[in-house]
Amino acid sequence: MTETPSPTLRVECLARRHDVTARGVRVIPEETPIAFTYGGSTHAVMMATPADLEDFAVGFALTEGLVDTAEEAGEVEILASEAGVELRAWLKGGRQEAYSERRRSMAGPTGCGLCGIESLEAATRSLPVIDNALTIHAEALIEAMERLPAAQKINQETRAVHAAAFWNPATGALIVREDVGRHNALDKLAGALARQAIAASQGVVLMTSRVSVELVQKAARMGAPIIAAVSAPTALAVRNAEKCGITLVAVMRGRDFEIFTHPGRILEQAAAHVA
């Protein structure tokens, strides 16, 4: 049996510094094909960082709507080979039968982000509405985002991976998952919360990336009321966040940020319009 690849690798390179070129060493993230298999059928293959794979398997099943709980995702078997890593599971509670029926009606191949979607209409599938009274102070949100870089262990080595984190404002706890793909990082975070029986409704999802629509969709499936990110959102992400009742905070740079939807959850925000 092949061992699961390390999430990072040390490679030699030629480094040019101050007009001088010399041999050097760089730690870079691994990128590995990860196959999600349910009941013997491969659902999707994602290029991902081979870390926190149990969380990845459970979180992917949850955010893609294949299951509603970590228990329904079943036991995950990790099988590594020269070709990549397979995450093999049998869904429980009748979910496997429903999934098998869905597979029989699928019309197209799977892809990155919106995986296993049968039609264009399904790509805009209905999502839960987050009716949550959680509020946080702007100052506390800024401080939480400032803590994130120190908690990104893989990125500290490589400077090349995204992070998704869950911040609980009541306890200050910060749970972080990393990956070369931003949606993979969020799937891993979703799995970590589900496996630890932590309710996403009690805190904020922090992202080190832009906010595209699949991140809003996954956060809605998690039940997260607030997303905060360092980069800007897409227009479709904003429309979906508005529809889902999610507060979308983005372009967080230092002490500055912009709120695009449902601003009432962020306290002490400036009222003046800034172009």
Q: Is 13 a catalytic residue?
A: no
Query: Of 13, 112, 115, 244, which one is the catalytic site residue?
Result: 112
* 3-class secondary structure per residue, the chain: CECCCCCEEEEEEEEEECCEEEEEEEEEECCEEEEEEECCEEEEEEEECCCCHHHHHHHHHHHCCCCCCCHHHCCEEEEEECCEEEEEECCCCCHHHHHHHHHHHCCCCCCCCCCCCCCCCHHHCCCCCCCCCCCEEHHHHHHHHHHHHHHCHHHHHHCCCEEEEEECCCCCCEEEEEECCHHHHHHHHHHHHHHCCCCHHHCEEEECCCECHHHHHHHHHHCCCEEEECCCECHHHHHHHHHHCCEEEEEEECCEEEEEECHHHEECCCCCCCC
Q: Which residues are catalytic?
A: 112
